[in-house]
Amino acid sequence: MSEENAKPEKAPDKEKEVKKKEEPQVPKYTGYDYDCFLAPQELLKAVTKLDHADFFLEDVSCVDMQEGFQVVYHFDRFSQPGRVVLRVMISRENPEIPSIYDIFPGAAWHERECFDFFGVRFTGHPNLIPLLLDPEHQGPPPLLKEETALKDLNQLYPDRVHTPVSPDSEEFVKEINNCSNQKSRNQS
């Protein structure tokens, strides 16, 4: 009873909470404790900061949308559980993003998977070859969507800020250090 009630009330940050009151359509539970957009060139800086804060990489995912590819990085922490998600938008014409292999070697396979399914090129990856698909696979990557089926950011993530956050900003550092799912649990 208590846990089920608490979960929908999970509010990653105050900003969202305010918005939720205005617009009840937003999903109540997101599973994210800190959620931010980043500029591609600042990804490595942010990931280094997460590495220093003892986070581990859960997965690297990608979403194909009108603005381009959104590469999604999920991080979590053993000592103080709380999920951080970094979202990086890159263009469809030139899908390039720095590889985080040097910081998290476990990202190597996740990035190869993204390369397989979306054709996103990770610069600096030591071994960017197909992982799950047949190396002789012809045609476009399988998870690309048709032009007509593409949705844009506002359709997929209504009512939220899409402006990139700087990993140097105090807010980012504070958020990742304090990031925890403890807050929502204690409410019950």
Partner 1 sequence: MNLDLRLDTSGDFYARKFQPTKREDTLILNMGPQHPSTHGVLRIILEIDGEYILRAEPVLGYIHRMHEKMAEVMSYPQYLPNPARTDYLHGLAWNWAHVAAVERLMGLEVPERAEYIRVITCELNRITSHLLWWGAYLLDLGAFTPIMYAFDDRERIQDILQRITGSRLTYCYYRFGGVSNDIDDRFIEETRKQCSRMKPRFKMFKDLVTDNFILRKRVEEIGEIPADTCRKYGATGPVLRGSGVPYDVRRAEPYSVYDRFDFNIPSYDTCDAMGRYLVRMDEMQESIKIIEQALDTLPEGDYIMPKAPKKPKPPAGDVYFALEGARGKIGFHLVSDGDKSPYRLKLRAPGFSNLSLFSEVSEGVLIADAVSILGSLDLVIP
| Residues near partner 1, by CB under 8 A | 1, 3-4, 7-8, 25-32, 54, 56-59, 61-64, 72, 74, 76, 78, 81, 83, 85, 104-106, 108-110, 117, 127, 129-136, 142-143, 151, 155-158, 181, 185
In terms of CB distance, is 131 or 173 closer to partner 1?
Answer: 131
Nearest approach, Cβ of residue 83 and partner 1 (Å)? 6
In terms of CB distance, is 118 or 172 closer to partner 1?
Answer: 118
Distances (CA, A) of 156 to 15, 96, 147, 152: 18, 22, 16, 6
Distance CA 23, CA 163 (A): 20
Burial class of residue 179 (count of CB atoms within 10 Å of its CB; 0-12, 13-18, 19+):
buried
Q: Which residue has the tokens 């800020």?
A: 161
Distance CA 92, CA 150 (A): 12
Nearest approach, Cβ of residue 103 and partner 1 (Å)? 8
In terms of CB distance, is 145 or 168 closer to partner 1?
Answer: 145
Residues forming beta bridges with residue 109, ordered by sequence position: none
Nearest approach, Cβ of residue 172 and partner 1 (Å)? 19
Nearest approach, Cβ of residue 174 and partner 1 (Å)? 22
Distance CA 66, CA 49 (A): 30
Nearest approach, Cβ of residue 63 and partner 1 (Å)? 5
In terms of CB distance, is 45 or 151 closer to partner 1?
Answer: 151
Give, to the nearest 10 degrees, the angle between helix 43-52 and helix 170-178: 40
In terms of CB distance, is 127 or 178 closer to partner 1?
Answer: 127
User: Structure tokens of 89?
Assistant: 């938008």
